[in-house]
Amino acid sequence: MELADEGLIVLGKVVEGTLAADLKVGMEMELTTMPLFTDDDGVQRIVYAWRIAQT
């Protein structure tokens, strides 16, 4: 993900169910969260992820 105004490139996961074929260079994306895993104590660990923007 490139944040052009800020001059940053941010790498990260995309939400589950997103295929490489769904992604195109320059497309709008939104930041969200998703479960990564549940640890041995039963705590769900959350990670940030990108999803295709809803226009």
pLDDT of residue 13: 93
pLDDT of residue 9: 87
* Cα–Cα distance for residue pair 45/55, rounded to 1 Å: 29
Average pLDDT of the chain, as a whole number: 93
Q: What is the pLDDT of residues 24-49, one digit of tens each?
A: 998 999 999 999 999 999 999 999 99
- Terminal C-alpha separation, the chain: 17
pLDDT of residue 30: 94
Block residue for tokens 């990564």: 36
**pLDDT confidence band for 55 (50 / 70 / 90):** confident
Amino acid sitting at position 47: V
Q: Cβ–Cβ contacts within 10 Å for residue 49, how many?
A: 19
